[in-house]
Amino acid sequence: MGTQYIKANRAFTAIRKYAWLFTILVAIGGLIEPKLGLFVIFIMAGLMITAFFSGRYWCGNICPHGSLFDSLLPISSNMAIPKILKSKYFILGFFVFFMFNFSRRILNVVNQWGSFDFLDKLGFVFVTTYLMVLIVGGALAVFITPRTWCQFCPMGTMQKLSYKLGKLVGVADKTETHITISNPDKCIKCGKCSKVCPFQLTPYLEFDKNNQFTNIECIKCSTCVKNCPLNLLSLENK
């Protein structure tokens, strides 16, 4: 029998509780006012910059879509995420597919630079992309588990690339925070940190010699920290 995942609160800050409103504003409001989609450019810049310093922190603490998906937790089936959606081949394949189509649409608009409705057309590319993620990601959130889309999200892949660059130049090692266990000997291996994890990771089985969980997929959302029955976990830098 597989792990029984627990529905646990993940909205610990105002941003995580209400950021989903931005998704609705862009995805729905953008159909009326396409220029709203231009705000997504700042979102993309923000997630790339934060990833350089702290991995997928954006996903767990700021992402508007993540906030939306987590808000669907009460009605989610909360099932195990299919392994195929976590596979490197699927993630890479979807990233290439997504970026090819997205880039093609952007180039088509760029060719119309100087036209009266250029900004509307450019914004609309982001609007329809946001709407697609809302629909597909929302459906996956309800029928599987809230952060299913996040397993292969192209923006998540871009964050991991930015993070690896940050590691390569030695910046991320100094600035990144990890889930840290204060006393491994007191851990009773109850697995609750895994049962409440949005990404269904297994911190209690993967702490390194520094007592830290350094899995690149960790979104540093602190859900495991808030739910550890012995209060052994915290989010600390190296």
The domains of the chain are located at 14-165, 176-237
The three-state secondary structure class of 52 is helix
Where does 176-237 sit in CATH, by number? 3.30.70
Give the residue-averaged pLDDT of 162-185.
95
Name which of 133, 130, 2, 15 is nearest 78 in CA terms: 2
pTM, two decimals, is: 0.93
- What is the tens place of the pLDDT at every residue in 33-66? 999 999 999 999 999 999 999 999 999 999 999 9
Answer yes or no: is pLDDT of 235 > 90: yes
Mean pLDDT of the chain: 95
User: What average pLDDT score do residues 11-29 get?
Assistant: 96
Q: Average pLDDT, stretch 201-227?
A: 96
Query: Residue 127: pLDDT above 60?
Result: yes
The CA distance from 192 to 205, in Å, is: 12
